[in-house]
């Protein structure tokens, strides 16, 4: 492995390129997951790419051992002052008894990130200004703007989870934060902008030179090449953000880069600003000897404003801790650079370019992708390109990003062993051994090495047991719950894989994996029975083979199975035999996710229509929704008056914050952090108006999220990983479900240790067809008792049950289970389509060329040919979202979920899900020709009313606008169950809930005696000089408030808050040398603290009892400090300890106390 960069002296040594022999065998196997989409292969002469004849197989040349001279062209040629600083950096406080140390945050229970939130506008009393309520709204908007800067550095989309659970925010970011955080782009199109007659061949020099512009910044000069790369990366970020000269900053730092504290001090001294905080953690410096394992270097490529200079610009992000991937662990994390890209379909307003120019830019970017680039003294080559999910409420710079490119450092500063991109890819996937795989599928397999995982136990080749998949045995399918009014005559004679993606590991191996996982994560929770993982070229779910207490030798030995469906490519020969020096990185079991104890789930919008189609009365669904929503409301209304329970409730909403809380002025930036900050300080929502408004907004956002996704809590439902019954003890139509801890329906208090003998509905998302939900019978089989918190599916039968549910399998799919009698009892199954789909029937093309047809797999210098084909294919537009939305509209128009047209749209959807791996090519023109020519639909159906209302709420920029949209008269369709449930059930319930909450949180005057005490005490006991000083301070406050009130318009919010906060912090006594006043300014405790901080805050609070947002933004830290200190039993907590605790469950009060004792 390459050496890290621990000292400057090592950066001048460059070693020779490592050489590896290519393998020469192949054995390509098609994944059984694609049973329904596979078809016969065409000859090379018949294969088409995008409707054109593909290029011929490269001429076979004698094998040459790779060397540098023949390698690919990539090879070598918040302001914090005084009191604010002390509190934020060192300590937080809590109420004794209110916050108890709990278990560590890290556990086997996978964390679910909460959706980002967005503000909505209140009515304003002044045109163009923001009232006091809206100030809260607007400041919360920064959670998507400022917080996004930091969260982007720690959140990474897992490249192996396609179509993962949507984590979009409740409301989009406001124009306030967009305008304030991003400079307005120059909108000056060229004179021929938008002209359809413009020839694409006429390239401006700016576009033409994109491939030659490296990473769109100037490279460093030789004088600073003895500086380590990671320090250069940080300095480059600072220099770019603040318009400094990088070389000057590097010279200023000198040898100070080696120590975190020294580096941080030098950065601040050079920038002459306390705001120049070093966002990189101290651990980055400590990780140098470990190749920066656990850290990821990221940035974003953005469109430059204006019409001169480079088309693109580079913005680096702070280096933050992150799970590593296999390639990072092998070659060093600092050799990989993850860059997001702007959309090439963004349009003139966002990008500054018309559609003709954007197409030219995209074409030149493809050349850029296969061109080596210089950056910070290293030569880089791109090797991966993928789509990323746009996050709702993202910063303006990120909202337009829809792709990610990953680059690899081939050679340069700090790299002891240069390595070409070809060698990198061949280390992971032996290209020649897999030369018969299609290049689309081969590229998709690179994702295995880029998955964010926790490495655990390393297996020897002899401990890996490869076994064939379990095939269908023909046992007749269960007909107990079939709808006899439908046809069940479809014959299926194939023998599909029944355990696709699922295998076992021994008890001995399981103990080793769990131990190493515990060591790395610090969890003390009981280990799971199933891991989703990676090893070599295999991916999927691995489950415990027997009870963990088994003493059977075969169970206790160390081994792991790999099935044919799990192994995605042929491994390296040396990884198959203990006699060879296998690579430990490739044979390490890497944990992605794991099973955890079951929790109640929700009724999703896509399930509602299937339920009603399959016999569940619409009114029964509505009654169930009302019952559940009313139960939750009563619980919430009981929580609000109790600060301890309110704190626990906020925590349970999945709104945990970052360890390093981001601040704006004197308040945390995140709304959830702001709530916890006040609750932990001892404030009560009923008596503290600003806290009440924050809580009201938080609840409202949660409701908006539920409305936009049309999800309703459902106590008798859960989501579990699906695995296959490797023992073959379950019959068709049966599932096995056991829980590690009792499952409790919170509303009825019914407790389940298993689902034995219950009828259960099973589904997975997305659910489009009426057959995408099936009714089965749950059993508990003794042989499967060691499998808990998962749903076990049968391997007997004609067709896998998971495959009937939107083409699912067992390599990590999560299934929704429901045993609510009102929904289950009347439900009848519909037949699922079993035959493989023919993509040509839908005017869909396919790219079928193999690796050996696009490159010479024995010559790694031809890897750029492979990547050139990859970027050409990957940049083709995906129509999956378009088809999904079209299907939703057509379903609404037809008033049902099953018809010939709808089935065809479902078929297209299913094909497009696997399009990247299968090489399917589908253009907008192809789709619309099929829709109009075959389906005979002359126009696109209209947007459903419920969908329009959901989209309108999501796009609302301010709270007042959102409220007005809720009163809009939508054209509700009488026969639409979703219109009825959305408008007549959910919205009505939420409106009533907010009305009742507003009655409880109705206090307007902020008159907390604890916060007024310092000011009142001085006014009552102080002399004339002190009273005069307080009066003069009020004059200064008035100036700050006038600035605040005048500047509170959308486009100036951030700058106004910062300006007012700076002015407020500068307010000082006019007679600081007065004997009675001078002591206020003395830093008695430490250099960053004085009593004046608290006096000033109390005086401001007392003077402006109804200007809550203004007061709390200026003095929130100090007010919280005063409040917590006034509470008996308060204690201080260091920031690190506070970040590692979570609320203990609130115990119910004891009903009686027994004063007597038998022992007395």
C-beta of residue 738 within 8 angstroms of C-beta of residue 785: yes
- How far apart are the C-alpha atoms of 767 and 322, rounded to whole Å? 33
Q: What pairs with residue 466 in β-bridges?
A: 562
Query: Per mean pLDDT, which range of 697-711, 798-812, 971-985 is the poorest?
Result: 697-711
Long-range CB pairs of 486-489 (<8 Å, 24+ gap) are: 486/830, 486/831, 487/831, 488/831
Helices (H), 745-797: none
Per-residue pLDDT at 1023: 82
DSSP calls for 928-991: HHHHHHTS---SPPPPPHHHHHHHHHHH--SHHHHHHHHTS-----TT-HHHIIIIIIIHHHHH
Classify 570 as helix, strand or coil: coil
Query: Per mean pLDDT, which range of 189-193, 640-644, 987-991, 1129-1133 is the poorest?
Result: 189-193
Q: What is the mean pLDDT of residues 120-128?
A: 36
- How far apart are the C-alpha atoms of 401 and 387, rounded to whole Å? 9
Residue range 1010-1027, pLDDT digits in tens: 999 999 998 888 888 888
Per-residue pLDDT at 391: 56
C-beta of residue 231 within 8 angstroms of C-beta of residue 266: no
User: At CA 167, angle to CA 161 and CA 171, rounded to 5?
Assistant: 155
Can you say how many angstroms the Cα of residue 1152 is from the centroid of all Cα atoms in its chain?
A: 47
1159 has pLDDT over 80: no
pLDDT band at 634 (very low <50, low <70, confident <90, very high): very high
C-beta of residue 622 within 8 angstroms of C-beta of residue 572: no
Residue range 275-320, pLDDT digits in tens: 566 788 999 999 999 999 999 999 999 998 877 789 999 999 999 9
Residue range 315-355, pLDDT digits in tens: 999 999 999 999 999 999 999 999 999 988 866 667 788 88
- How far apart are the C-alpha atoms of 340 and 778, rounded to whole Å? 45
Per-residue pLDDT at 654: 65
C-beta of residue 697 within 8 angstroms of C-beta of residue 136: yes
**% of the chain residues with pLDDT over 90:** 59
Task: Supply 1059's token pair.
Answer: 């300006």
Q: Across all residues in the chain, what is the average pLDDT?
A: 82
Query: Per mean pLDDT, which range of 83-97, 442-456, 1127-1141 is the poorest?
Result: 83-97
pLDDT band at 774 (very low <50, low <70, confident <90, very high): very high
pLDDT band at 1073 (very low <50, low <70, confident <90, very high): confident
Using H for helix, E for strand and C for coil, what is the string for 711-740? Answer: CEEEEEEEEEEEEECCCCCCCCCEEEEEEE
Structural class in CATH, domain 597-616+709-828+874-984? mainly beta
Per-residue pLDDT at 797: 96
Q: State how far the alpha carbon of 25 is from the alpha carbons of 330, 413, 572, 573, in Å.
A: 25, 37, 10, 9
Q: What is the mean pLDDT of residues 201-206?
A: 81
30 has pLDDT over 80: no
Per-residue pLDDT at 50: 39
- How far apart are the C-alpha atoms of 923 and 915, rounded to whole Å? 12
What letter does residue 707 receive in the DSSP assignment? H
Task: Supply 493's token pair.
Answer: 């004679």
For 831, residues 6+ apart whose C-beta sits below 8 A from its C-beta are 482, 486, 487, 488, 490, 771
pLDDT band at 201 (very low <50, low <70, confident <90, very high): low
Which of the listed ranges 28-37, 185-194, 298-307 does the model predict with the highest average pLDDT?
Answer: 298-307
Per-residue pLDDT at 685: 94
Task: Supply 17's token pair.
Answer: 């390129």
Q: What is the mean pLDDT of residues 953-966?
A: 59
pLDDT band at 442 (very low <50, low <70, confident <90, very high): very high
Classify 754 as helix, strand or coil: strand
Nearest to 75 by CA among 424, 486, 513, 502: 424
To the nearest 10 degrees (0 to 180), the angle between helices 863-874 and 355-369 is: 150
Per-residue pLDDT at 135: 54
Nearest to 874 by CA among 338, 388, 164: 388
81 has pLDDT over 90: no
Long-range CB pairs of 1011-1014 (<8 Å, 24+ gap) are: 1011/1097, 1011/1098, 1011/1101, 1011/1102, 1011/1119, 1011/1122, 1011/1123, 1012/1098, 1012/1101, 1012/1102, 1013/1098, 1013/1122, 1013/1126, 1014/1094, 1014/1095, 1014/1098, 1014/1099, 1014/1122
C-beta of residue 728 within 8 angstroms of C-beta of residue 719: no
Nearest to 144 by CA among 662, 704, 706, 694: 662
Phi/psi of residue 151, each to 5°? -65, -30
User: At CA 913, angle to CA 909 and CA 914, rounded to 5?
Assistant: 130
Task: Supply 549's token pair.
Answer: 């207490």
b/e 685-695 (16+ beta carbons within 10 angstroms → b):
bbebbbbbbbb
For 32, residues 6+ apart whose C-beta sits below 8 A from its C-beta are 469, 496, 497, 500, 564, 565, 809
561 has pLDDT over 70: yes
Query: Per mean pLDDT, which range of 389-393, 441-445, 780-784, 1058-1062 is the poorest?
Result: 389-393
Query: Per mean pLDDT, which range of 17-26, 619-628, 1003-1012 is the poorest?
Result: 17-26
pLDDT band at 28 (very low <50, low <70, confident <90, very high): very low
Phi/psi of residue 818, each to 5°? -140, 130
Phi/psi of residue 777, each to 5°? -115, 130
Helix (H) or strand (E) holding 562: strand 560-563
Helices (H), 466-547: 507-521
Q: Where in the chain are the domains?
A: 8-23+183-449, 88-111+642-683+1004-1151, 459-471+492-594, 597-616+709-828+874-984
Residue range 472-521, pLDDT digits in tens: 999 999 999 999 999 999 888 899 999 999 999 999 999 999 999 999 98
Query: Per mean pLDDT, which range of 200-209, 437-446, 666-675 is the poorest?
Result: 200-209
Q: What is the mean pLDDT of residues 241-250?
A: 89
C-beta of residue 628 within 8 angstroms of C-beta of residue 745: no
Per-residue pLDDT at 235: 93
Per-residue pLDDT at 968: 78
Residue range 395-419, pLDDT digits in tens: 555 557 889 999 999 999 999 999 9
Q: What is the largest CA-CA distance in the chain?
A: 101
Q: What is the mean pLDDT of residues 72-90?
A: 41
- How far apart are the C-alpha atoms of 631 and 636, rounded to whole Å? 9
C-beta of residue 563 within 8 angstroms of C-beta of residue 502: yes
Which of the listed ranges 77-81, 122-126, 275-279 does the model predict with the highest average pLDDT?
Answer: 275-279
C-beta of residue 776 within 8 angstroms of C-beta of residue 735: yes
C-beta of residue 1113 within 8 angstroms of C-beta of residue 667: yes
Which of the listed ranges 42-51, 957-966, 1088-1097 does the model predict with the highest average pLDDT?
Answer: 1088-1097
Per-residue pLDDT at 115: 38
DSSP calls for 417-463: S---HHHHHHHHS-TTTTTTSBHHHHHHGGGGGTS-BEEEEEPPGGG
Task: Supply 438's token pair.
Answer: 């299609």
Residue range 898-953, pLDDT digits in tens: 999 999 999 999 999 999 999 999 999 999 999 999 999 999 999 999 999 888 77
Q: What is the mean pLDDT of residues 591-600?
A: 95
Residue range 653-664, pLDDT digits in tens: 865 545 567 888
Q: What is the mean pLDDT of residues 30-38?
A: 41
18 has pLDDT over 60: no
Residue range 717-741, pLDDT digits in tens: 999 999 999 999 999 999 999 999 9
Beta-carbon-side half-sphere exposure of residue 535 (alpha carbons within 13 Å):
33
Per-residue pLDDT at 815: 98
Nearest to 717 by CA among 745, 736, 748, 757: 745
- How far apart are the C-alpha atoms of 55 and 705, rounded to whole Å? 50
C-beta of residue 454 within 8 angstroms of C-beta of residue 517: yes
Task: Supply 703's token pair.
Answer: 């409701």
For 830, residues 6+ apart whose C-beta sits below 8 A from its C-beta are 483, 486, 613, 614, 769, 770, 771, 898
């Amino acid at each position: 492995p390459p050496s890290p960069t621990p000292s400057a002296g090592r950066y001048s040594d460059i070693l020779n390129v490592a050489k590896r022999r290519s393998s020469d065998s192949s054995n390509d196997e098609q994944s059984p997951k694609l049973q329904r989409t596979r078809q016969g292969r065409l000859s090379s002469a018949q294969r088409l790419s995008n409707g054109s004849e593909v290029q011929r197989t490269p001429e076979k040349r004698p094998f040459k051992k790779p060397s540098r001279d023949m390698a690919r062209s990539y090879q070598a040629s918040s302001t914090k002052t005084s009191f604010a600083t002390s509190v934020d950096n060192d300590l937080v406080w809590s109420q004794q008894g209110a916050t108890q140390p709990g278990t560590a945050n890290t556990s086997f229970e996978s964390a679910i990130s909460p959706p980002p939130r967005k503000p909505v506008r209140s009515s304003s009393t002044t045109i163009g200004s923001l009232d006091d309520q809206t100030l809260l709204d607007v400041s919360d908007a920064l959670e998507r703007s400022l917080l996004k800067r930091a969260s982007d550095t720690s959140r990474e989309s897992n490249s192996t989870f396609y179509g993962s659970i949507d984590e979009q925010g409740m409301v989009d970011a406001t124009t306030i934060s967009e305008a304030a955080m991003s400079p307005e782009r120059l909108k000056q199109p060229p004179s021929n902008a938008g002209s359809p007659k413009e020839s694409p061949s006429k390239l401006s020099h700016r576009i033409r030179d994109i491939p030659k512009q490296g990473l769109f910044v100037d490279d460093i000069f030789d004088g600073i090449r003895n500086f380590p790369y990671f320090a250069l990366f940080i300095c480059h970020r600072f220099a770019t953000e603040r318009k400094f000269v990088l070389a000057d900053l590097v010279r200023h730092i000198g040898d100070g880069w080696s120590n975190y504290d020294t580096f941080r001090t030098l950065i601040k001294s050079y920038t002459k600003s306390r705001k120049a905080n070093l966002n990189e953690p101290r651990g980055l410096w400590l990780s140098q000897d470990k190749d920066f394992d656990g850290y990821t270097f990221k940035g974003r490529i953005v469109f430059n404003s204006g019409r001169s200079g480079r088309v693109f610009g580079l913005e680096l992000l702070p280096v933050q801790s992150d799970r590593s991937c296999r390639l990072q662990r092998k070659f060093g994390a600092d050799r990989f650079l993850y860059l997001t890209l702007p959309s090439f379909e963004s349009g003139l307003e966002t990008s500054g370019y018309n559609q003709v120019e954007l197409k030219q830019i995209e074409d030149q970017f493809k050349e850029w992708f296969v061109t080596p680039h210089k950056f910070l003294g290293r030569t880089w080559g791109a090797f991966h390109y993928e789509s990323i999910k746009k996050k709702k409420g993202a910063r303006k710079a990120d909202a337009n990003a829809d792709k990610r490119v990953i680059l690899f450092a081939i050679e340069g500063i700090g790299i002891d062993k240069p390595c070409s991109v070809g060698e990198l890819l061949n280390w992971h996937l032996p290209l020649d051994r897999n030369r018969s795989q299609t290049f689309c599928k081969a590229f998709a397999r690179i994702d295995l090495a880029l998955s964010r995982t926790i490495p655990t136990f390393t297996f020897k080749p002899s401990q890996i047991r490869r076994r064939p998949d379990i095939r269908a045995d023909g046992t007749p399918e269960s007909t107990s719950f079939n709808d006899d009014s439908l046809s069940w005559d479809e014959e299926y004679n194939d023998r599909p894989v029944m355990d696709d993606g699922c295998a076992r590991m021994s008890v001995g191996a399981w103990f080793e994996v769990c131990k190493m996982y515990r060591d790395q994560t610090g969890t003390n929770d009981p280990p799971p029975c199933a891991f989703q993982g990676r090893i070599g070229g295999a991916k999927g779910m691995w489950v415990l083979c027997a009870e963990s207490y088994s003493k059977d030798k075969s169970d206790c030995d160390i081994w792991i199975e790999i099935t044919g469906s799990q192994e995605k490519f042929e491994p390296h020969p040396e990884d198959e035999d203990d006699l060879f020096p296998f690579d430990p990185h490739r044979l390490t079991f890497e944990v992605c996710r794991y099973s955890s104890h079951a929790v109640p789930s929700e009724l999703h919008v896509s399930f509602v229509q299937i339920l009603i189609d399959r016999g569940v009365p619409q009114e029964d669904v509505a009654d169930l929704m009302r019952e559940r929503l009313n139960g939750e409301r009563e619980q919430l209304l009981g929580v609000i008056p109790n600060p301890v329970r309110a704190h626990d409730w906020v925590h349970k909403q999945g709104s945990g914050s970052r360890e390093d809380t981001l601040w704006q002025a004197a308040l945390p930036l995140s709304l959830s952090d702001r709530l916890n900050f006040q609750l932990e300080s001892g404030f009560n929502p009923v008596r503290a108006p600003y806290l009440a408004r924050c809580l009201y907004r938080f609840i409202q956002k949660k409701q908006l999220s539920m409305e936009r996704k049309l999800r309703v809590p459902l106590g008798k439902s859960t989501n579990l990983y699906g695995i296959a019954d490797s023992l073959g003890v379950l019959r068709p139509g049966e599932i096995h479900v056991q829980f590690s801890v009792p499952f409790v329906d919170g509303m009825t208090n019914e407790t389940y240790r298993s689902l034995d003998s219950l009828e259960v509905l099973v589904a997975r998302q997305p659910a489009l067809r009426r057959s995408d939900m099936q009714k089965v019978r749950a059993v508990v089989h003794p042989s499967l008792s060691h499998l808990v918190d998962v749903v076990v599916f049968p391997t007997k039968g004609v067709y896998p049950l998971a495959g009937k549910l939107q083409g699912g399998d067992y390599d990590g799919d999560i299934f929704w289970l429901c045993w609510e009698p009102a929904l289950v009892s009347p439900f009848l199954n519909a037949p699922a389509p079993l035959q493989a789909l023919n993509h040509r029937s839908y005017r869909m093309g396919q790219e079928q060329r193999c690796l050996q047809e696009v490159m010479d797999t024995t010559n790694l210098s031809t890897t750029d040919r492979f990547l050139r084909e990859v970027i050409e294919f990957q940049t083709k537009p995906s129509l999956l979202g378009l088809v999904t939305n079209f299907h939703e509209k057509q379903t609404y128009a037809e008033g049902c979920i099953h018809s010939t047209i709808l089935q065809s749209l479902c078929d297209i959807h299913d094909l497009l899900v696997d399009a990247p791996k299968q090489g399917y090519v589908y253009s907008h023109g192809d789709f619309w020709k099929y829709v109009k020519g075959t389906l005979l639909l002359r126009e696109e159906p209209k947007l459903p009313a419920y969908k329009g209302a959901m989209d309108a709420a999501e796009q609302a920029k301010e709270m007042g606008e959102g409220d007005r949209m809720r009163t809009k008269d939508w054209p509700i369709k009488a026969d639409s169950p979703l219109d009825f449930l959305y408008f007549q059930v959910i919205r009505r319930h939420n409106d009533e809930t907010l009305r009742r909450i507003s009655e409880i949180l109705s206090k307007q005057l902020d008159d907390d005696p604890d916060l007024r005490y310092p000011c009142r005490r001085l006014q009552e006991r102080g002399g004339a000089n002190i009273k005069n000083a307080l009066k003069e301070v009020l004059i200064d406050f008035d100036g700050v408030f006038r600035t605040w009130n005048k500047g509170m318009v959308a486009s100036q919010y951030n700058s106004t808050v910062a300006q007012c906060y700076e002015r407020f912090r500068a307010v000082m006594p006019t007679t600081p040398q007065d004997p009675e006043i001078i002591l206020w300014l003395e830093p008695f405790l430490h250099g960053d603290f004085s009593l004046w901080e608290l006096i000033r805050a109390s005086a401001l609070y007392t003077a402006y009892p109804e200007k809550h947002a203004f007061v709390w933004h200026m003095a929130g830290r100090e007010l919280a400090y005063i409040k917590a200190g006034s509470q008996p039993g308060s204690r201080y907590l260091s920031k690190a300890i506070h970040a590692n605790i979570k609320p203990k469950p609130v115990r119910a009060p004891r009903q009686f106390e027994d004063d007597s004792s038998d022992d007395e």
